[in-house]
């Protein structure tokens, strides 16, 4: 499991305000799987930058990135 998927999954879990913390031994493993699946879907949805994200690079800095760099970052975050 990638570090980013785990980080996002834990944030999703904690946003539900469950009584038990993510790493508690009695946390239902089904919740872990569900939150990890949600995390992967959320990260995947960020694969293409939005127009606002592109516009935030108005000074041309983003144009200096290698083509596909953003997608490469997302791929790395999803890599197991």
Domain count of the fold of the chain: 1
Q: Which residue has the tokens 């930058």?
A: 49
Q: Say how far apart CA 38 and CA 7 lie, in whole Å.
A: 12
User: What was the pLDDT predicted at 3?
Assistant: 93
- pTM confidence score: 0.74
What tens digit of pLDDT does each residue of 53-73 get?
777 766 666 666 666 777 888
Residue 46 near residue 74, CB atoms below 8 Å: yes
**34 vs 65, residue with greater confidence:** 34
Range of the domain at 22: 3-78
Neighbours of 10 (CB within 10 A): 17
């Amino acid at each position: 499991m990638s570090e980013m998927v785990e980080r996002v999954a834990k944030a999703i879990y904690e946003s539900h305000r469950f009584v038990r913390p993510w790493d508690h031994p009695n946390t239902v493993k089904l919740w872990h799987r569900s939150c990890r699946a949600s995390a992967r879907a959320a990260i995947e949805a960020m694969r293409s930058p939005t127009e606002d994200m592109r516009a935030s690079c108005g000074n041309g800095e983003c144009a200096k990135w290698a083509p596909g760099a953003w997608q490469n970052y997302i791929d790395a975050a999803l890599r197991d």
